[in-house]
Structure 1
Amino acid sequence: MKQFFTYVLATIAGLWITMIIMTVGSVLMTIVMLAASMATPTVRIDKKSVLHVCLDGPVEERAQGRSILEELQGISINTIPLNDLVKAIDHAAADDRIEGIYLDCQGGSGGAASMAYIRESLEKFKESGKWIVAYGDAYTQSNYYLASLADSLWLNPVGAIDIHGVGGTLPFFKGLLDKLGVEMQVVKVGTYKSAVEPYIMTEPSEANREQIKGYITPIWNYISGGIAAGRDVSTADVNEWADSIIVTQDPATFAARGLITSLKYRHEAEEWMKSVTGKKKKDNLSLVSPAKYASAIKEKSSSNKIAVLYATGDIVDSGNEGIVGDKMAPLIMSIAENDDIDALVLRVNSGGGSAFASEQIWEALEQFKATGKPFYVSMGDVAASGGYYISCGADRIYCQPVTITGSIGIFGLIPNIKGLLNDKLGVNMVSIATNPNANMTLTEPFTPVQRAAMQRMIDRGYETFVGRCAEGRGVPVDSIKAIAEGRVWDGTTALEIGLVDKLGSLTDCISDLALEQGYDKYSIVEYPDPKGEWWEELLMASSSVKQSVIKAELGEALPYYEAIQRVKQMSPVQCRMEYIVVE
């Protein structure tokens, strides 16, 4: 009998081991198959091809890796990688296989600096003598800004063009918080540090109105000036289009007014491109997307390697989204220790976030500078508050004229939910402690002593912030304080007041660095790797499903949901500019 049980147990154990091996094998097989499916195929570029720039989604700094979940579900990520797009346009100018560029305007969007960067690349492309044409059924303002420099700009006969100027939308939550019985306790430094206003006010302060008007006006002047130059009209004409709600008007009048070249249906636009590329009417155009074209560009290897480190999104202490302090700081240290890397360009597109994480990243960058390697910063759409904190120590800082930067200030935002618990839910919280401040909780308002202590901590954080900026910019602390106070600036003004060194794109920043270091040739190494490890993707899979569902369900209300989520996840002390949709 004993031997029988021994055989039974051995059999069961064997079955379990077999099942485990089969499961592990299946997982590994799936990973191998996915890896093979995600491998970049060889891209063939035919002669007389057209670079097809399809503006049908949001512009992001660079392509993000597709997760295993997205591969399995066949989810399409409809974003436009800025780095691939600019790389493709720049390379196509000297490629005999590319005849011209087709701007297919389908409502894509992007920040003002991203659009300016793309437009600069398009302008350089035109200098090669090749053509650019644009077609749209309905042009958004950002699409039209790019399309305005096209040699031919076509609109569907029943289409529309939206030109409206630049404005900002701010959500204010105080009314909601009052109804919930939640009081947001604020300690801050900076007259213009307005990121706290949505939680304690019902409308912007006069100082905030002043600063918003102060930076959106030059941004619009830059955009309207670009449109005017592209269409060979005056800026007064462009402003008249915006003021007259041009999107509602009859497109039959647009050609005579200079908005478009002519009205065409899409097939007519494509037939024109067939004719100039030698295609027969029944043939298909040889269209190549920027992403595929960029993947076919073979980078020349060089002993001089410049690391481009992307710092995009909210600055947080830990997590998987945005600029994660406990991941970014070690990554910078590893780049510093990499003998193959000769220089670093930090590409910043962030409105800030955690003050603690910002300090850790700043310190890691100081360690990089201690190696003697050059360190430059290129600012994207926004590099403000914590985004400026991590930038300020650079040897040189570049930004676009329409970049939003500055916001040198700091605040703490701590909710008091006593009203919610007591008045709304009937829950009475009682604290018993040995010392007066042993229980500083969310269920009781600050005492005067506690508020004073918090203010001292915020003041100390502000002094650290302005000190870092003064040290990095090589100016007295008082000079930084004169332009700080949490105020946000446009890029052109930032240059005038010394927050940045030069107006220019990421391409300009890298080129200047290479020139000043005497690199005849150089290659770019991008960090961090947009694709994580396979096991990280599996762990993030459920989160990806949740995010996809939320985005689909909330639609236009998504930004307000995300604003509330940011507050829930904030660390107590923040270097962050206000959330504002500028369009």
Structure 2
Amino acid sequence: MSFFKQVLATITGVFITGIILFFVFIFIIAVLIQSSSSDKNAPTPTNSVLYLSFDFDILEKDEPNPFADLNLPLGVATKSMGLNEILSKIKAAKTDDNIKGIYLNPYTVGGGFATLKAIRDALVDFKESKKFIVAYSEGYSQKAYYLSSVADKIYLNPEGSIDFRGLSSSTMFMKDALDKLGVDMQVIKVGTFKSAVEPFMLDKMSDANRLQVTSYLNSIYDAFLDDVSAGRKISKDSLRHYADAYLIRNADAALTYKFIDGKLYKDELIAEMKKRLDISEKKDVSVVSISNYNAIATDNKDGEEIAVLYAYGDIVDGEGETSEIGGDRISRELRKLRENDKVKAVVLRVNSGGGSALASDIIWREVTLTKKVKPVIVSMGDYAASGGYYIAAAADSIFAEKTTLTGSIGVFGLIPNLKGLMNDKLGIKFEEVNTGKYAGLMNSPDKPLTAEEKAIIQVEVNNVYQTFMDRVAKGRNMSIAQVDSIGQGRVWTGDQALQIGLVDKIGDLQTAIKSAAAKGKIDSYHVQEYPKSKDKFAAIFSTSKEKIKMWMFAEEMRDYHKYMTEMQRLLKNTGIQARIPYTIEIY
């Protein structure tokens, strides 16, 4: 009888829990509907200031997060915005009579320098309207100051800080930790500079890797100084001196060296804003955050259609997630665009450090076929390297920002040997029966590769590299020898890539779109973005358990989750890979 009582109690508990979860789900739907209907057409108040703080993740393209506006635990309400949406809203604010200026309030800013360059250029364009841009912060990181240097006036809290000491890039090496765990990462690669696997093989940078990092970091720094110099009217030589001596650390120094225009507390800043807006001291400043700004659409559907296809994130086999480049999904999108007579040209926007060599080749094939039918222009974001460059190589022309990281023409295979961990530390052993000499190749996690097996895999890696070079050679009108000389896995900036023939021009997405129109002899056009975004409600049902787990993981690990994610990514993708170290961090 006791047993049946416990079973009945369990069933009742599960039933009640299911009802509660159902009503919670209905509540979330209701809140989303209410939020969507109330905010969709909310007008911008007159005499307003557009507020940009960048206290959110900057993605390549806007992705609907159904939980972003809800105060939910576990990190699932993480806010983000797509670069495309940010640029669109700044452009709309330029001609919006209700927006009188922009208030920049950055502290730290995510994203790579190519992303920041695009935002900064949009702010430069905004200034042509003669509207003001004022920057204020309690402290500026280097990326935050880079953006703020475009402002008419830059202010800093009197006790605030400013960070200006040159750029730095660091890499975490895990070999010693893996050795202690008994994990041997068996690496088979092609390319002197193919550094994606170094954290698993070495306990420090190789000389070749240090050479390439030094090269591309200095190239990015040069572009960084160019823009800051232009914005603040300070010579590049002076900026280098200030950074090398680390003279700009606090508000007094920043004012002395003309990095800021004044030291203000927040109340003093508000008073200045009121003067700019010509409102009384008793009246509040109307501030509209960029995330809530309902920009008035100025684009129409007149003229021919130019498609912008976004390909960003890891390149993976199959469909992939929204923030990944699934070989099947992106190649299918290209095929649809090729067969769509309404689409007269395609701009492929690439922001990827690479991934699966097979998926890269599948996408490359569709780019090649599409180019035979209509113009295909590539626009590169922060990254378009390794597999990211592979899928770009066949385009009619390639545009990159000066600070884009590209190239990295090389491949590798990564096969973990867990013998030390499984056998020695955990006492777990595997036995296998095979019908042939190589039948069990890479089947047992505790079995190291033999010399013969390594040779077999090396042949396949070499073949993929040869194919990769062939794709680049044909796409860029080079010889295999020329590609190999600038390949070997070496990473280049967009500025360097222009000099060696890997890209055609320095320019942003809009420049690439204009080039596509010129190539297709299109006088009047409108732009349509692909893949088309899901709405909030569809996103609820497509939010996988795996994605929610990653949100929770990121919330718990904070700044360290990127390193664990990179390890997980490389361990999961144990086939032949064409990628750079995706977590290149520049501070």
Q: After TM superposition, is the score higher than 0.5? A: yes
Q: For residues 214-259 of structure 1, what are the alpha-carbon distances to aligned partners after superposition, in whole Å with 9 as ceiling and x for unaligned?
A: 1000101111222222222222332233234456x44223212111
**For residues 253 and 580 of structure 1, do their structure 2 counterparts lie closer, same or farther at Cα, with a shift above 3 Å needed?**
closer
Residue aligned with 1:342, SS: strand
Query: Percent sequence identity over matched residues?
Result: 38
The answer to whether 1:480 aligns with 2:483 is yes
- Contact 1:67–1:541 (CA under 8 A) maintained in structure 2: no
Note closer, same or farther for the CA distance 1:506–1:434 as it changes in structure 2 (3 Å cut): same
1:452 maps to which of 451, 455, 464? 455
Check the 8 A contact 2:416/2:571 in 1, yes or no: no
Matches within 5 A, 1:429-578: 429-440=430-441, 441=443, 442-531=445-534, 537-538=540-541, 540-578=543-581
Corresponding residue for 2:287? 287
What is the correspondence of 1:215-364 to structure 2 with a 5 Å cutoff?
Answer: 215-246=216-247, 249-293=249-293, 295-318=295-318, 319-320=320-321, 321-364=323-366
Kindly provide the CA deviation profile for residues 290-317 of structure 1, in whole angstroms up to 9, marking residues without a partner as x: 3444643242111311111111111111
Counterpart contact for 1:219–1:490, Cα < 8 Å: yes
* Aligned-residue offset at 1:535: 6.4
Q: Give 3-state SS (helix, strand or coil) of 1:252's partner.
A: helix
CA distance in 2, matches of 1:198, 1:351: 16
Q: Which amino acid aligns with 2:282?
A: K
Find the residue that maps to 2:351 and give its secondary structure.
strand
Which amino acid counterpart does residue 59 of structure 2 have in structure 1?
A: E
CA contact (8 A) 1:359 1:390 kept: yes
Cα deviation for residue 381 of structure 1 reads 0.7
The equivalent residue for 2:384 is 383
Following superposition, the deviation at residue 78 of structure 1 comes to 2.8
Distance change in 2, residues 1:446/1:404 (3 Å): same
Larger CA deviation: 58-67 vs 214-223:
58-67
SS at structure 2 position matched to 1:382: strand
Shift of residue 422, structure 1, vs aligned partner: 2.0
Q: Which residue of 2 aligns with 1:149?
A: 150
Question: How many pairs are equivalent?
Answer: 562
**Structure 1: gaps of 5 or more residues:** 1-19
Deviation by residue 1:419-476 (Cα, 9 ceiling, x = unmatched): 2222222233333323211111332122222111111101110111111111111222
Work out which of the residue numbers 564, 577, 586 in structure 2 matches 1:582.
586
In the alignment, the residues of structure 1 paired with residue 542 and residue 507 of structure 2 have an alpha-carbon distance, to the nearest angstrom, of 39
Of stretches 459-468 and 236-245 in structure 1, the one that deviates more from structure 2 is 236-245
Contact 1:191 1:486 in 2 (8 A): yes
> CA, structure 1 residues 518+92, in 2 after alignment: closer, same or farther (shift >3 Å)?
farther
Partner of 2:82: 81
Q: Which residue of 2 aligns with 1:189?
A: 190
How many Å separate the matches in 2 of 1:532 and 1:143? 31
CA distance in 1, matches of 2:364, 2:29: 37
Note if contact 1:87-1:294 (Cα within 8 Å) is conserved in structure 2. no
Distance 1:424 1:376, change over 3 A: same
Q: In 1, distance between residues paired with 2:46 and 2:66? A: 34
AA aligned opposite 1:212: V
- Residues 496-516 of structure 1 show CA distances to partners (whole Å, capped at 9, x for unaligned) of 111001001111111232244
2:57 is matched with 58
Task: Check 1:79–1:559 CA distance in 2 against 1; reply closer, same or farther (3 A cut).
Answer: same
Q: Give the distance between the partners of 2:83 and 2:187, measured in 1 at CA.
A: 37
Question: Is it true that 1:214 corresponds to 2:215 in the alignment?
Answer: yes
CA offset digits 1:79-121 (Å, max 9, x no partner)? 3432122222233334443322211223222211111111122
Unpaired runs of 5+ in structure 2? 1-17
Conserved 8 A contact 1:411-1:458 = yes
Q: CA contact under 8 A between 2:406 and 2:494: conserved in structure 1?
A: yes
SS at match of 2:285: coil
CA root-mean-square deviation: 2.7
CA distance, structure 1, for counterparts of residue 67 and residue 129 of structure 2: 41
* Residues 1:301 and 1:292: Cα distance change in structure 2 (over 3 Å): farther
| Cα separation, 1, equivalents of 2:291 and 2:486 | 41
The change in CA–CA distance for 1:366 and 1:537 in structure 2 (over 3 A counts) is farther
SS of the equivalent of 2:492 reads: strand
Q: Give me the whole-angstrom Cα distance separating, in 2, the residues matched to 1:533 and 1:43.
A: 18
Opposite residue 43 of structure 2, the aligned amino acid is: R
AA aligned opposite 1:183: D
Contact 2:96 2:296 in 1 (8 A): no
What code does the residue aligned with 1:420 have? L
